[in-house]
Amino acid sequence: MTTMTMVKALNEGLRRVLEVQPKSLVMGEDVGRLGGVFRVTDGLQKDFGSERIIDTPLAESGIIGTAIGLAMRGYRPICEIQFDGFVYPAFDQLVSQLAKIPNRSGGRVRLPVVVRIPYGGGIGAIEHHSESPEAYFAHTAGLKVVTCANPNDAYWMIQQAAAGDDPVIFFEPKRRYQAKGEVDTETSELDLYRARTLREGRTATLIAYGPTVDVAANAAAAAAEEGLDLEVIDLRALSPIDWDPLFASVRKTGRAVVVHEAPGNIGVGAEVAARVSEECFYSLESPVLRVTGYDVPYPASRLEDDYLPNLDRVLDAVDRSLEY
């Protein structure tokens, strides 16, 4: 076990991919000489060369389009979209080409492309730098969508994503980049598309992913001081969602609260709430509740603490659930 920040874990995971997959390459804005704006790719160009760690023009559509062409020729590109809000110029390439070509070709063309996207708020950034666009891609058939919440998952999930033959949108919670945690560099605990139960309980189930997993875990710890026993589940994969652990947990607790930074309207939490209600209807003691960002454009940095889900909002939702 080694203690790393999430940035370091991602860097080490990418390094391992590049070592074991000679056809893999990393491409994006400032990923080479600079090492990425968050330093996730720091040192990789020095060790693997500029033909494998490629500084691209400021053209997200071009980055993804080029990656698709490289994948069709046998390469395994790992693209970086520098910030979440910059992904939209590449949207057509992602949803109309990357997601569709394997099906369009009857499975004869595989596109092993990983698209890394730092996402979410909490870093005091300006407009277009704190978005949570995961629902767009989770809704798109043909794309896998995952997100890590701790350094160990970051280390292994990036390797697992790069090892598969499917396009993967890999969301990285940027406000957790400097969070430290233990990383087991020898053994992977879970498959890429499996949820993890972080804490077992019987009072209610908290379901979160990415940057809000830590919020949910802290809420559960605070609730324990008041005698409440909350179960916490980290989804990890948003498409496909690993439903069985969610259903089993809610059938046990009878209550569920879903937490994410993205706006609540037609978000991942809405799908989770709908499916849990359908599958666990006779076990529910209250409606499935959601704690999310508000349905407004992401606010200026001085207001983001009021926008983001926090411990108090999660505990308030738990209290409301227990009132039924």
DSSP state of 95: I
Residue 27: per-residue pLDDT? 98
Give how far the C-alpha of residue 107 lies from the chain's centroid of Cα atoms, to the nearest Å: 26
CA distance 181 to 190: 17
pLDDT score, position 189: 81
In DSSP terms, 206 is beta-bridged to 232, 257
Could you read off the pLDDT of 231-260 as tens digits, one per residue? Answer: 999 999 999 999 999 999 999 999 999 999
Residue 251's pLDDT is 98
CA dihedral 240, 164, 24, 237 (to 10 degrees): 20
Strand duo 24-28 + 53-55: pairing: parallel
Q: Which residues neighbour 107 within 8 Å (Cβ) at sequence distance 6 or greater?
A: none
Query: Which residue numbers are catalytic?
Result: 129
Is residue 27 within 8 Å of residue 77, measured between CB atoms? yes
The backbone region for 131, taken as left when phi is positive above 0, alpha when psi lies in -120 to 50, beta otherwise, is beta
Sign, Cα dihedral of 171, 174, 177, 181: negative
Total-model pTM: 0.97
User: Which residues of the chain are under the pLDDT cut of 70?
Assistant: none
Instruction: Go through the domains of the chain in sequence order and give each one's CATH number.
Output: 2-183 (3.40.50.970), 196-323 (3.40.50.920)
| DSSP SS3 for 144 | strand
pLDDT tens figures, 32-91? 999 999 999 999 999 999 999 999 999 999 999 999 999 999 999 999 999 999 999 999
